[in-house]
Structure 1
């Protein structure tokens, strides 16, 4: 099934996309994790809160009313943790001149960095802004020190993301964080698709286009560390809880690795697509505020 967060009647709601359109998710009947974030939030306020309150995604998820005229937003607007993997496709690793890693290369973002599937990406002018199409994994169960099988079972679904990166800030130091966690820089969505509907292990085509020109294309079958690997590894050192988001890395074709280097300009249209999940279409807005 397809799930998401929509704007409706002046508020946001966790919802499922059905043949009738978007239908609100009914509140979970019980919380599975008393320590989960957003305990005081309405369980139907958005998909992050629904999952954190103990909701599960699937064909038996209780649905409520049809939300006429709903507008799609970022599916997980308030994840407690946004953890990202870099250098996770063979071609991308080769274009950076590195060897295949023995362990995942990880960094974090904040929820403030996330925008929706059609929102503008807003960054300062004069910065080197690059594209990075990615498959993202939505955590659906609390796991700590999980094995691969347990981690795979904890996947609530998959969505699309673009880890838009500010390269000149990223490469100021050996730590990438300051180039990766800018507010309003990471498009996500449009929906979360459950694992019974899509299987990245079987190979989902992932593409990125700039103003209609294809700049990235690969298959998720070539990931060095797949979704279960990443969740198991991350859960070794930090607890993952329902509603957390894990970005799995980008294929080759990024702008910084080209000769000459190529970066996004104000007004560029950035499209990010993962087969079986959906399409993001975001306009780049580079403004004059000081970087």
Structure 2
């Protein structure tokens, strides 16, 4: 059986999926066809139901939950790993509300968190996440919401932190911040879905046990990223929740949707979320 799987070229995803797509861990008799794309591209493809298994933002999942279920493995979720609002210099709340804000995708959890924290800041423009720092530096945006490895580089470029949106979420809810997860097509065989969920969890564990096995694969997709930043990226975004969401992880995701409905960002709660 051939299945299409989408995930990002970011180090946390290539670290997680390397063993699985290279046949290094036991799993169902599936030939994986991997597609590596920016998270917002994955979000948009998920809305169209293009991949059988896909990484996507938890914000995006709320808009395609009729077609997909969330797996309990492969997720990016935790404390101290949220998006950051940055600018060239400190800004007041009034200035933020008037500012041109660059966001890394309409359907990203980063965008959701920004809307939750700054509901009156409506002048938002979408950019590829890797372009936001330079757009702010060039004055094409007054501030930007950065994700992924950019949280390790913005200070070196002379940019200032305005708000840690992950910390904002943690203070508001006491929960880890759910960034992105793995969704699987609802119409697939139930036993197959469970086997894939277990295979992804085993792929995470293999990566932890054999970190050098995936090193070349990670670096070739890391867009010339400094190896030090690559390591920091993996250490921050791959954790126990990546192997298994557990009760706390599930509760955090459900809390995200409850907050979205309460704030008017979503019209209704997604149902039957998890496999």
TM band (smaller chain): under 0.3
Per residue, is there more helix in 1 or in 2? 2
Q: Quick one: higher RCO (CA 8 Å, sep 6+), 1 or 2?
A: 2
**TM-score (normalised: structure 1):** 0.26
